[in-house]
Amino acid sequence: MLLKRVTDSIRLDALLSYAAEGLNEEATVRRLALMTAVALATSVIAAPAGNAAVSTDSSTLRKAVTVQGIMRHQQAFQGFAEDSVATFGHPTRVDGSIGFTESADYVVRQMRSYGYSVSVQNFTFDRFVESAPPVFAQVAPNPTTYIEGTDFLTMEYSGSGDVTASVQATNDIVIPPGATASTSNSGCEASDFAGFTPGNIALIQRGTCTFRQKVDNATAAGAAGTIIFNEGQPGRTDAVDGTLSPPQAAIPALGTTFDLGANLYSLLQAGQTVSVHIAVTAGVVTTPSVNVIADSTGRADRTVVVGAHLDSVTEGPGINDNGSGSAAILETAKQMTKLGITPVNRVRFAWWGGEEFGLLGSEYYVSHLGSTELKNIALNLNFDMVASPNFVRFVYDGDGSATGTKGPNGSGNIEKVFTDYFTTQGLPTAATAFDGRSDYGPFIDRGIPAGGLFTGAEGIKTAAEAAVYGGTAGAPYDACYHQLCDDITNLNRTALDQMSDGIADATLQFAMTSSSVSGTSKASATATASTDYAGTLLRK
């Protein structure tokens, strides 16, 4: 075991430093062989017996980080969400609720009790608030009242208004949809509104550009409201749960199912006059929020930021999204101190606020770092949803080899640490892209290497994935994503056990390495340019 710890430590450090030097695989193997031979000859000096804390053997920490320990934190989060019922009518930990505030206070208390240096970073943001249920109904030719949450949703930062008017379709609507996403360019250009009658309600299909761009173009054309219907490919059929991002738009904007939009479009194509009633009562409220930051000891110039977002959406308690990531890193931090682990590099555990409104907490944190502080961050590990009921073991594709979207230099090395670990456990993994959906976004935007784990959200599990990971093909990874049912029962404990072990392993590996992850270059041009999301709300 002693020699294995020595060679494992060499393996990680060499992997990171040789990548920085640009050595090819053959050269790396030759140098590793030489270093291992030297280590074996000097192993008693290199690794004193009993000093497990300086080893990259994570088995002791992984054994200590248990599902039972994580669930104790999750039970606390569920209780905090229920404290919001009096205000919101249902459990939630949305930023701005008592459920979020109590969650943050709990993390502060816990981390201080574990011996970390804890700070609370305060910031404010404009929270979108609906003060009355939205209304959407077809007045003619077929009077129909549509159901919120099933047929349509109000887009975050929609404008307010109550309007009954004719529907007019934009150009570039594609029905049936193309084989791949974003084949529709509807509403993305001013020319899509050629001949638009001011005062009408614009019917627009999702695709290509941001929802905000579509709504702004409709506003410029004189539209009194907008209906943006889903694009229609698998995974793009439900009511669009999207955001326009602040500031609040000038006109009401609803996201609907593909079927609803396609039906309205077919009526228009048949020469029918279609009129609808839309009502949105909403505004923005300046809302205080916090990031919770907790530091270990260790080299500040090699800071490892281990993060998860603490807030939920308004609609539910967010126990998978993202109580699972928050609780997993909290238990990892706890067990590191209980085991007496003294990190070589400072580990900064972070719980972000405002993620569901557009990565607001992590963006605030990164944008308020000085140049030296920014340079001192070696990497970011991000854990957003790690217990999805119909899970896949996703690892962020740091080198872009599987998805074509790579992170900053060094991200591929982070990916390899995760995939190597799961390989040793006989657990297959799949790559997931840096699509901007979570709090790694502000880090990779500034050239900081990043990586992490994910078990899936609203996406649909394929038959091939079900064959590897079990579960149900054709069903969402998390059927309760962004819903009231994302509660304490909405957790796959097998996934939580496996992914929390991966979290513990990677955190320890990077806490103990003496080598750089070589994160010196900027993110690739595709790392955020094709982003479909702002936080976990659709942006286009």
What residues are annotated to the active site? 355
Report d(CA 375, CA 348) in Å as an integer. 14
Contact criterion met (CB below 8 Å) for 324 and 377: no
What tokens were used for 403? Answer: 């998805």
| CA 23/CA 66 separation, integer angstroms | 39
DSSP annotation of 54 reads G
Q: What are phi and psi of 202, to 5 degrees?
A: -80, 130
Q: Measured between alpha carbons, how far is 21 from 526 in angstroms, rounded to an integer?
A: 24
Helix (H, G, I), strand (E, B) or coil at 298: coil
| For the chain, the helix, strand and coil percentages under 3-state DSSP, each to the nearest 5 | 35, 25, 40
Q: How far apart are CA 184 and CA 172, in angstroms?
A: 6
Q: Specify the 3-state DSSP secondary structure of 496.
A: helix
Q: Which position has the token pair 């290509």?
A: 208
Q: Coil, strand, or helix at residue 409? A: coil
Single-letter amino acid code for the residue at 264: L
Nearest CA-CA partner of 186 in 263, 247, 280, 265: 265
Token pair recorded at residue 518: 């070589």
DSSP letter, residue 460: B
Q: Which two tokens stand for residue 385?
A: 């949803």
Quote the CA–CA distance of 540 and 115 in Å, as a whole number.
43
Q: In the structure encoding, which two tokens stand for residue 346, read together?
A: 């400072």
167 bridge partner residues:
201
Which residue, 450, 498, 416, 425, is CA-closest to 11?
Answer: 416
Which one, of 233, 275, 247, lies nearest residue 532 by Cα?
A: 233
Q: 3 is written with which tokens?
A: 């020699």
